[in-house]
Amino acid sequence: MSAKLVIATTGMPGSGKGELSRLFREAGYPVYVCGDVVRREAERRGLPKDSRTLGGLMFALREEGGRAAIVRRLAPDVRSDPSRVVVVEGIRNLEEVEELRREFDVILVAVHSPPRLRYERLVARGRGDDPRTPEEFRERDARELRVGVGDVIALSDLVIRNDGTLADLEGEFKGLLRRVEEWIGSG
């Protein structure tokens, strides 16, 4: 067992990965977000932060640096973090999972929500890269599936259903924390 556990989260846009990360932060765990890597790179390049531009940049970064390029950019932060357990939000393909597993113990957690609910959440969130129409939503889902997120979801260690209330998600989170505590206790 390595000295560090990475809780790697995955899920389709709007599934609740960000809410899960918020719960982890509130419980005292550091969170690193794959999407922030892309947004920072867009800012560095002076690009707009709309869905199509960020999606294209996500593909470009992976074309330039390989399918695990995003996680590779996060790895130094994860490695240098003094915490024994860290969260990496937004894993998109199996190569990213394998990149993390080369160096860390990994629990892969998928967050699942039905498409209609995800769309409603994204519209309500209103971030610059969120879809504004059902067509944009379907395009974004198709892009995420092309990157490989479906394979990651299918091979996750745990799946959290997020189709109820925030209190329901918090209950699921408590179960996940028990698993993390078991891992810490076995180390």
Residue 125 belongs to domain with CATH number: 3.40.50.300
d(CA 155, CA 163): 20
Structural domain of 122: 5-186
Rounded mean pLDDT of the chain?
A: 91
pTM: 0.90
pLDDT band at 50 (very low <50, low <70, confident <90, very high): confident
- Residues 32-39, mean pLDDT to the nearest whole number: 92
d(CA 114, CA 26): 26
DSSP 3-state of 69 = helix
- Residues 36-43, mean pLDDT to the nearest whole number: 92
- Residues 77-99, mean pLDDT to the nearest whole number: 96
Encoded tokens for 97: 């999972």
Give the total number of structural domains in the chain. Answer: 1
